[in-house]
């Protein structure tokens, strides 16, 4: 689907069952654990999200992967991860433990996404990593195998949790293990907790005292890790329910005891009258119209829900304040700027004051048609698509970006009664 699409809907009630793909966040961690365990850990229900498919191809079938090619230098293997940011962070640490030399690269946008904090941490451990182009950014030249210099690293807590996870995933394989000191408040804490829980499923024990996470060198146990459906993907169906007049949806496989931080969407969307009932092996969503009163949303632990929540508030003409969005500017795109640009097309402003963002709906209007630019960002497409419940025609540019995390999104949208028309 390379052409733009028009999303529309003739009625405002939604009643359907949607089977979501496996969690990209869980799957990518599990795949690295599987590879580092040397066969002791097996991963099931692998996500069909493009990022997970890319990572699986590199880790499970390195000789055959279309993402891995030999460069002009015979001794160096080039690994191109495309736009997969998680793969870039996780493989940076992973390849420091492997034999041989690798040039780890990606798309032009990937070459603009900073990775210096992680590289500096790995260099402190003793890893041999150099920048092939611009300092602080991919592509990276990684020489595998190193003599560990220290087991103590300090890393800022308010940066991407993927840097921290990348280090934690290799910790059991380090001769001295790892003692990771978190400097300042930890943002995206649920993602770090997810990493440690999945390591624990594989038999890897840890300690977490105050701001220090410790993992000793240890062996993995034979086990199977089942990847739960993706709560991030579920968030868009909560958005649909919030914008519908009536909604009853069933999402199989989701549990109330999820490792995924984005499962907090159940609590966030309760503010918009969406009840979540866990039974029959999944979650039932139901819309019970109620006035929205909550004014402040702290998304520090779930920044991937920011676009969904901001768009829902704008659509419902609900002025709110958002905090915890510090990492949004270094994602697939600058998500703050992207939101400001696209919300402006319906007269809504997202005003930045330090680390606080205020939604101003005073000039909001509902156009007959709106065209949404996606900025090579899957979450922009999926967060804005539910606007078709209040705007007659929503045009989405570059709709195939959803393949990064939710390849079946547009098919599922059609299943739920939305009209999708290529133009």
Q: Which of 49, 378, 133, 63 minimizes the C-alpha distance to 79?
A: 63
Yes or no: say if 346 and 366 are a contact pair by the CB < 8 Å rule. Answer: yes
Q: Give the strand pairing for 246-252 and 13-17.
A: parallel
Considering only CA atoms, which of 151, 123, 165, 162 is closest in space to residue 216? 151
Separation CA 251–CA 185 (nearest Å): 34
* 298 catalytic residue (yes or no): no
β-pairing verdict for 152-156 and 178-183: parallel
CA distances for 234 relative to 10, 23, 272, 305, angstroms? 23, 10, 16, 10
Cα gap 334→327, rounded to integer Å: 9
Gap between the Cα atoms of 232 and 225, Å rounded: 19
Measure the CA–CA gap between 373 and 383, rounded to whole angstroms: 12
**Residues 49, 282 contacting (CB under 8 angstroms):** no
Q: DSSP string of 58-78?
A: HHH-TTT-TTEEE-SSTTEEE
Out of 304, 377, 398, 412, pick the active-site residue. Answer: 304
Q: Could you give the residue numbers annotated as active site?
A: 304
């Amino acid at each position: 689907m390379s052409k733009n699409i028009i999303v529309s809907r003739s009625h405002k009630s939604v009643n359907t069952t949607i089977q979501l793909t496996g969690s990209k966040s869980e799957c990518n961690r599990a795949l690295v654990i599987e590879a580092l365990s040397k066969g002791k850990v097996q991963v099931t229900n692998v996500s069909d999200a493009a990022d997970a498919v890319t990572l699986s191809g590199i880790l499970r079938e390195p000789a055959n992967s279309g993402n891995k090619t030999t460069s002009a230098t015979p001794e160096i293997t080039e690994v191109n991860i495309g736009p997969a940011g998680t793969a870039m962070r996780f493989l940076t640490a992973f390849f420091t433990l492997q034999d041989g030399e690798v040039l780890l690269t990606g798309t032009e946008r990937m070459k603009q996404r900073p990775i210096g904090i992680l590289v500096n941490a790995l260099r402190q451990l003793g890893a041999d990593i150099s920048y092939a182009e611009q300092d602080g950014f991919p592509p990276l030249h990684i020489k595998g195998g190193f003599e560990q210099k220290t087991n103590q690293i300090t890393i800022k807590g308010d940066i991407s949790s993927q840097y921290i996870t990348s280090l934690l995933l290799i910790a059991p394989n380090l001769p001295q293990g790892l003692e990771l000191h978190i400097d300042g408040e930890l943002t995206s804490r649920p993602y770090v907790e997810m990493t440690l829980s999945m390591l624990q499923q594989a038999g890897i024990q840890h300690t977490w005292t105050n701001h220090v996470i410790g993992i000793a060198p240890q062996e993995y146990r034979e086990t199977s890790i089942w990847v739960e459906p993706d709560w991030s993907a579920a968030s868009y169906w909560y958005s649909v329910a919030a914008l519908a007049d009536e909604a009853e949806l069933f999402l199989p496989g989701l549990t109330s005891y999820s490792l995924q931080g984005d499962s907090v969407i159940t609590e966030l969307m309760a503010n918009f009258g969406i009840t979540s009932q866990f039974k029959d092996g999944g979650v039932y969503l139901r819309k019970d119209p109620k006035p929205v009163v909550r004014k402040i949303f702290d998304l520090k632990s779930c920044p991937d829900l920011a676009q969904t929540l901001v768009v829902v508030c704008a659509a419902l003409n609900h002025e709110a304040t958002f905090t915890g969005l510090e990492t949004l500017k270094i994602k697939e795109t600058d998500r703050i700027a992207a939101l400001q640009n696209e919300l402006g097309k319906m007269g809504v402003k997202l005003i930045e004051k330090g680390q606080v963002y205020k939604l101003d709906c005073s000039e909001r209007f509902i156009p007959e048609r709106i065209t949404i630019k996606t900025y090579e960002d899957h979450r922009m497409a999926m967060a804005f698509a539910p606007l078709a419940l209040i705007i007659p025609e929503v045009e989405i540019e570059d709709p195939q970006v959803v393949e990064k995390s939710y390849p079946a999104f547009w098919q599922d949208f059609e299943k739920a009664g939305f009209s999708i028309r290529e133009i």
